[in-house]
Amino acid sequence: MADNLYDLVIIGSGPAGESAAMNASKAGKKVAIIDMRHQVGGNCTHQGTIPSKALRHAVHQVMQFNRNPLFRHISEQKWLSYSQVRETAQRVIDRQVAMRARFYSRNGVDLYYGVASFVDGNTVKVDRGEDQVDVLTGQEFILATGSRPYRPPEIDFSHPRIFDSDTILNTPETPRHLVIYGAGVIGSEYASIFNGLGCKIDLINPGARLLAFMDDEISDALSYHLRGNGVLVRHNEEFDKVEGFDDHIVLTLKSGKKIKADAFMWANGRTGNTDKLNLDAVGLTANGRGQLEVDKQYRTSVPNIHAVGDVIGWPSLASAAYDQGRSASGVILENDTFRYINDVPTGIYTIPEISSVGQTERELTAAKVPYEVGKAYFKDTARAQITGEDVGVLKLLFHRETLELLGIHCFGDQAAEILHIGQAIMAQKNGGNTIRYFLEHTFNYPTMAEAYRVAALNGLNRIF
């Protein structure tokens, strides 16, 4: 047993934990990171953002090849198995782990692998298995343990044809017909991925529309595009039971419908990873979804324990988690690295992508804000015609009197990249945030960025 004293102990080595550790170590603090895996990177690197986006990219490349007439002189259409595209994702994961391990080594952060649990408000033990335990004493703690898929107890996830968003990564076969229950971000992304592999997809949505938090028009565009590629989307359907057999599954919905398929994937909700922390020892209690409540400085009700990332709920994005971790350590350091994260861009890596920042039309209408809309359709831009990625739209919402940008919503190839141009303008102060920026500055041609000029002109033409 080893006893170790630290200024800051961080549980979880995902984006939130990593950024907190880097910020504190560069300020001269003695920092330890604990992760239950024997590799750094957290869920983001091993089971969430990185593998799913790497899979998506590989599938997208296959789709580009198959629809490009230039390649018809070389070969007929190609289809890869899920295991083949999974290999490309594993290569990315390996590179990410090696890179992040170098970060910790270079900055003198101590790594501990095992299950962490509190002994008291200043002590955690790390169970490494086989009766090996490390005891760490810390002045401050940051919980960045992330989340995992919620698993209803009535579903047998040990069945080889029943998956969640973590276990689907390890399936050895490409199902011909996959049912996905849950049409949020994860369900929609995996529907795109498997559809791109040639699978028949039933996407079951308990709600009335896909991605209900998005701008309605963008949500409708994704729904239309998925249906156009053969995805069967069923709205307002609730789960009753799923039965696994040797060669198929049967999903029964509360409406009485039954669906037979090769495999089933549950993608409806996530749970914070707090159950093994022994929170009772420090007087903390997680909510029914395993999440911790924090104040606007990411402190829990125990002053020296902070929490960041998925374990606190919204927005449950890797990008926000990174900033939250840095900010939480900034509170501890009492330097200028703190900021409260309350307005983040959303990137959804369906095929095509969706990205947005700011308010939606529904929100502006409810608030009685006099706004106008400017649009640029990708099919009308030279760059999209050149690349063949001509499905999509850039949509600007702006105040019709001040011309202030109020919201940016994009559907199409590279949407998550395109969005950041508008996000930078929205952040300008002293009158700098207006759509006139896009008319008063010259954009490279042909580029997708040019869509901002087209959308701004389109919007201004509506003003009278």
> Is 189 one of the annotated binding-site residues?
yes
Whose tokens are 């919204």? That residue is: 314
410 is in an annotated binding site: no
Q: Please say whether the beta carbons of 100 and 111 come within 8 A.
A: no
40 in a labelled binding site = yes
Q: Is 35 annotated as a binding residue?
A: yes
Please tell me whether 183 is known to bind a ligand: yes
184 is in an annotated binding site: yes
Any binding-site annotation on 238? no
Question: Per the annotation, does 107 bind a ligand?
Answer: no
41 among annotated binding-site residues: yes
For residue 265, what are the β-bridge partners? 163, 180
| Residue 198 counted as an annotated binding residue | no
Q: Does 187 count as an annotated binding residue?
A: yes
Q: Which of 96, 103, 97, 102 is nearest to 19 (CA)?
A: 103
Task: Give, in order, the Cα–Cα distances in Å from 326 to each of 95, 112, 158, 298.
Answer: 23, 20, 38, 11
Identify the burial level of 119 via C-beta atoms within 10 angstroms of its C-beta, where 0-12 means exposed, 13-18 middle and 19 or more buried.
Answer: middle
- Ligand-binding annotation for 36, yes or no, is yes
43 is an annotated ligand-binding site residue: yes
Is residue 186 annotated as involved in ligand binding? yes
Residue 404 forms beta bridges with which residues? 434
Give the span between the Cα atoms of 181 and 185, in whole angstroms: 12
37 assigned binding-site residue: yes
Q: Is 44 labeled as ligand-binding? A: yes
387 is in an annotated binding site: no
Q: How far is CA 321 from CA 200, 299, 373, 398, 403, in A?
A: 34, 15, 31, 29, 32
Backbone angles phi, psi at 266, to 5 degrees: -90, 125
Binding-site residue ranges for NAD(+): 182-189, 269
Binding-site residue ranges for FAD: 35-44, 53, 145-147, 310
Binding-site residue ranges: 35-44, 53, 145-147, 182-189, 269, 310
